[in-house]
A and B are shown apart, each in its own frame.
Chain A
Amino acid sequence: MNPELDAERFRRLSEELISDDLHVRHVAVAPNLVIKHIYPLAGNEGAIGLDYRTTPDQYASIAAAINAQDIVINGPLELVQGGQAMIARLPVFSEEGQLWGIISQVIDHRSLLEDAGLFGTDASTSQRLQFSLRGANGTGLSGPVIFGNPMIWEQQPVTASVNLPVGEWVLAAAPPRGEWEPPMYSYYWLWSLGTLLSLAISLLIFNLLTSYRRLKHAFATISHQARFDLLTGLPNRASFMHYLRDQIEHCQRKQGKFAILFIDLDHFKEINDSLGHEAGDELLLEAGHRIQSSLRADDIVARFGGDEFVVLLRDLADPLDAEFLADKILGKLQPQFVVAGHDVAIQGSIGIAVFPEDGVNPSDLIKHADLAMYAAKAAGRGTSYFYNDSLRNEAEAHIQLHHEIQRGLQANQFSVYYQPVIDAATRSLISVEALVRWNHPEYGVISPVHFVPVAEKSGTIRELGAFVLAQACRDYHAFEAAGLPTRISINRSPREFNDPKASQHWLDQIDSAQVPRESIIFEITESLLMPDRERQHQMLRKLSDTGVRLSIDDFGTGYSSVTYLRRFPVSQIKIDRAFLHGLPENQQQTALVKALIEMAQALNLEVVAEGVETETQANALTAMGCDLLQGYYFSPPIPANELIAWHAKFAKSKAPNTR
């Protein structure tokens, strides 16, 4: 720069250089740091002659410019003349590098920024973005805000640096809302579409599941209808044939037996016609229930259509049991049905076929049972019929016997005989065993051997047992009056223990007859002591606890377990008559009896020998230590009045024996 710059030349030069489109307010030239020229001079005359060295606040920026040897922009600052502006300082050096002076330029930064477009070039931009500039004095990000909302800097703005000759400014932009994310509601169409879609899918799936459930339900109904009768809910023919085939296979492997009962309701058609089909259906339903209730748990009853029912009786020990079950069914059908307000009596006819005798395939068995059913109908309805001749005859004999026993009980054909039991040592009467006898009007006296098994099977044994106990209680008082020792043994069948209330009934019977319980001995079989009969064991304990004595009948023929004997409150064992055969000649037999007696003694049990027939036997048993003797040698079973007479004679004849 020419040091000899005069005022006029400076004015012309400035006029040329500073055009209107620039934002320069004025320019000052200060050689040697003292202001010499100002353009435009008007209004700024006061500044001429100002020495920067004397104005410390301006000198600092001038020193910085000199130091940087380039233009330094300061501000915005408050001007002496008023208003705000930026000041650019340019240090000027001579060719030798000596500081000549300073050129200062005051820039109207607001119009500068406005021209640059920071106030928003158009409406859409200002709506989307707000701008801010910071870095006064070229200090960049760390500097104070020059323009714009300072909050923008907190809102993760996008930034760009504006390079200055020395230092920089930083420009930032952020949305006016303060957040960059568009608000969620602006996606309402996506929301609606997505919600509609997921709603549609979930409804579709719900419908699918519902129809799947309906389908499954329908399949279950179909499969149930295919296997069961709609009316009674019992298995139908197809399903029954399936069970039958399985049962045949099972029984062929295990050599088992089973029976088929073909049941037809007699005169069902007449009821159906007179009372209507609904009444008929009601009757069938009730009949189905009654048949089912008379069977065991694993038997199967099916409805074959119309008024035909078929029953599969599984695991029959004896084919004749089928007859009793058939009778039970007929008995259950007997009571009147109440159908549509009418009392209706109905009977059934039952045909019985037994595997394997009457066929080894399902169709043969069904056919034969059906034929037997027609035979039953022909024989007069309300009855059952075996297909097999021999079984039929046997069953008929059994049924006849069963009915005759019942008739006999009503007609007082049964009586009780007594066989004396003698004390081995003193040869005096100790007790008597009550034995039932049947005085049949046609066949004479029948032994229990012939009718007790039938009575056991048909259940009449309970009535028979009650009769014997009642009679024995009556006779007890007669014996007592006649001066007989009064202990009475009564046989009890294992079947009688099936009724849980039986023991209480017996005790009541004994008490009401005013017989001391200690005078009654119940003879039971060893089979009752088997381990799987807990309920029966409880009844035995109850009997024993209340005073009734227990005796094991026919000891030695069954299981003869010493363990059971020890565990139960048994007071007596009776050695079976079979052991006395060949006594005392047969040494083995003698040893066996001796062992039995010694065992009983060891267990503290009374021993009775049954079937004593000779004096030698009686003496031998006495010598072995047997407590009591019973047998024809002393007396056969005799009626009560004869026993009293016998005792009078026996007591007299005993006198020499005991001597």
Chain B
Amino acid sequence: MIDDHAAVLSAAAAHFNFGRIRVVSDQPLLIETERGMKKIRVWENNALLKIHLKWRERVSGDQFLVDRMYVTRAGYPLVRLGRLSVTCHDAPSLLFKQEGNEKTLAQLIDYLFQNSRGIPAEKPVGSYNAYVHQLYEQTKNSESVQQSEIWSMVSACFSSACARAETADRLRKAHHGRSTVFLLPEDFSYHSFFSLFDTIFFEIGQSRPVNGYGRIAAFFLDKSLMCSEQSMHRLFEAVRENGSMDREMVDLLLAEWYEPAEWVRLLHYGASSRVQDNDLIIQEFRKIWDRKIKLIKVFESIVMQP
């Protein structure tokens, strides 16, 4: 790998025309050059690289910046290095401040809804309700779970979890069979956004493209936990004002929040004998469960307004 590392740096310097290179970090590989800080990505999976090249082509627009591949002196977006491919990207450092900039963020989300579409890497989920039932039936007969505090909570919320799973299934059912779906990187988070010259620099990164509704729902949930309630209201209002959220988007986003994934996580904790702090886990579960219900209400009251 050390040889690979040296070869990668030497290839980057030669093909991307950098005069001097200083390695700032190895993971991710950040280099300082006379043209600023750059991120070097090494790809072992060429099929994934091809998907990313096309994805960036679709997502690049005139409103936002995206971590596109630099072209080499010969005009190619990558350097072949044996079985590996090397790409070079911008590496901005200033994270995008979401509080107060909800309108810009909503515009980007709207733009991604419209343009970041394709075939996701993972297979579509089946009935979540059936999964919840199956999981509960399988686990409840185990003796170890019966006495635990976590299991009491799991049992108490079972019927609600089923109801939520059923709603999620119902919302998704209407939109099954679409050839392309909204895509986001698997590691999508608020760390994917940077501020650059009055706009957002969106980092697609290097991970698989997955169903974007799950990622964006998790992003909204994280944001609601981190930011003020007013900020969340402003973001949903800005999303509504953009006016491009169609029925499919609304249903699939709601389905992600209805899906009781936190209950499934709690069930797994309940089944595990290694869990130490029951209170903390239950507290965390309650926080997410309640927050999701609140988020659904706020979203429906703002975005689904006639």
Whether A and B are associated in the same complex: the answer reads no
